[in-house]
Amino acid sequence: MWDERYAGTEYVYGTQPNDFLAEMVDRIPAGPVLCLADGEGRNGVFVATRGHAVTSVDASSVGLAKARALAAERGVALETVQADLASFDLGEGRWAGIVSIFCHLPPAIRGPLYAQVARSLMPGGVLVLEAYGPGQLGRGTGGPPVVEMMPDAATLEAEVPGLAWEHRYEGERSVVEGWGHTGDAWVVQLIGRRR
Ligand SMILES: C[S@@+](CC[C@H](N)C(=O)[O-])C[C@H]1O[C@@H](n2cnc3c(N)ncnc32)[C@H](O)[C@@H]1O
């Protein structure tokens, strides 16, 4: 499904970074960054332009090919890994930052994945997360048509134990990020840091 969605030359979510990531990127300390479900790479490439070594992981080889093309156009290095997040090993003490932007997964995949986040971060490392929340259901401005894939902030915080939460917001904002995400939306934003 994602390979088909990304098949055209246009970038479905644009080539500019997610608004929340652009606002929060300076909270990530120096070091390598993992971008989960990075799709066509707009966020991974942006983080790379800020001096981080970035690994973008996504299931879509078509999306990741466009991510590499965007990185080349911007003159930055980007490592891409095609993998199913259902069985992805985040490693231990490896990342200065983990970026999860509109990474909508079923609970059976999301739970085991997010349970690895705290130990895979370096001490002081940061999770930057924005996703549609349950209030997005039925708006038709982006996100999956399944509420279980759009948890609220409390659910996400429980799924990512071991972080100190520095920012939490859930509510409305206007999202204009490519034709795939456009319109008034209901989002969850979290910043969590490993102590
Ligand atoms: C809504 S797009 C967001 C892309 C990117 N984060 C952005 O904001 O531009 C969701 C992404 O999740 C990826 N994805 C969905 N399920 C996945 C899985 N099980 N493993 C890896 N990637 C997955 C899709 O390939 C797609 O690129």
35, pLDDT greater than 90: yes
176 C-beta neighbours (distance < 10 Å), count: 14
Cα(58) to centroid of ligand 1, in Å? 6
181, pLDDT greater than 90: no
How much is the pLDDT for 2?
96
How much is the pLDDT for 86?
98
How much is the pLDDT for 180?
78
134, pLDDT greater than 90: yes
Give the pLDDT mean for 35-55. 98
Cα(72) to centroid of ligand 1, in Å? 21
**Residue 59 CB partners (closer than 8 Å, separation 6+):** 2, 37, 82, 83, 84, 85
Give the pLDDT mean for 147-172. 98
DSSP string across the chain: -HHHHT-SSS-TT-SSPPHHHHHHGGGSPSS-EEEET-TTSHHHHHHHHTT--EEEEES-HHHHHHHHHHHHHHT---EEEE--GGG----SS-EEEEEEES----HHHHHHHHHTHHHHEEEEEEEEEEEE-GGGTT--SSS-S-GGGS--HHHHHHHSTTEEEEEEEEEEEEEEETTTEEEEEEEEEEEEEE-
Give dist(CA 184, CA 173) in Å, integer.
6
How much is the pLDDT for 5?
96
179, pLDDT greater than 90: no
Does any ligand 1 atom lie closer than 6 A to the CB of residue 149? no
Q: Express each pLDDT in 106-127 by its tens digit.
A: 999 999 999 999 999 999 999 9
Domains, the chain: 2-194 (3.40.50.150)
Best residue for ligand 1 mutational test, from 60, 64, 84, 149 (most atoms within 8 Å of Cβ): 60
Ligand 1 atom closest to the CA of 63, numbered from 1? 27
Give the pLDDT mean for 85-99. 98
More confident of the two residues 179 and 54 = 54
89, pLDDT greater than 90: yes
- The whole-chain average pLDDT of the chain stands at 97
Does any ligand 1 atom lie closer than 6 A to the CB of residue 38? yes
How much is the pLDDT for 45?
99
